């Protein structure tokens, strides 16, 4: 399985050494080269997140502008 740098970074940052953790990584769980599958999965995304016991959104590693971006969102 070829895992790109952003999901690999998420794995490293979100893993727990003390308990098992299940992660849904769109870029891995959905065949990105199959537009029919991608479209089908987009339609059920709301349910995937609604029924998840906990949801964490990984936007990538922080950069110089991360603080500014978060301040702007607040």
Could you tell me if residue 63 is inside a domain?
yes
Q: What is the pLDDT of residues 65-74, one digit of tens each?
A: 999 998 999 9
Q: 20-74: per-residue pLDDT in tens? A: 988 888 888 888 899 999 999 989 988 988 898 888 888 889 999 999 998 999 9
Question: Nearest 5 degrees, angle CA 29-CA 30-CA 36?
Answer: 160
Give the percent of the chain with pLDDT over 90.
35
Checking if the pLDDT of 11 tops 80, the result is: yes
Say what the pLDDT of residue 74 is. Answer: 93
Domain that holds residue 28: 7-72
Residue 29 covered by a domain: yes
Number of domains in the chain: 1
Within-domain flag for 26: yes
Rg of the chain on CA atoms, in Å: 15
Residue 1: inside a domain:
no
Does 1 score more than 80 pLDDT? no
């Amino acid at each position: 399985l070829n895992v790109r740098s952003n999901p690999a970074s998420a794995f490293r940052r979100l893993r727990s050494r003390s308990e098992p953790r299940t992660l849904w990584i769109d870029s891995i769980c959905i065949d990105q080269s199959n537009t029919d599958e991608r479209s089908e999965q987009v339609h059920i995304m709301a349910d995937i997140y609604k029924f998840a016991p906990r949801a964490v959104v990984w936007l990538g590693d922080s950069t110089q502008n991360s603080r500014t971006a978060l301040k702007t969102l607040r």
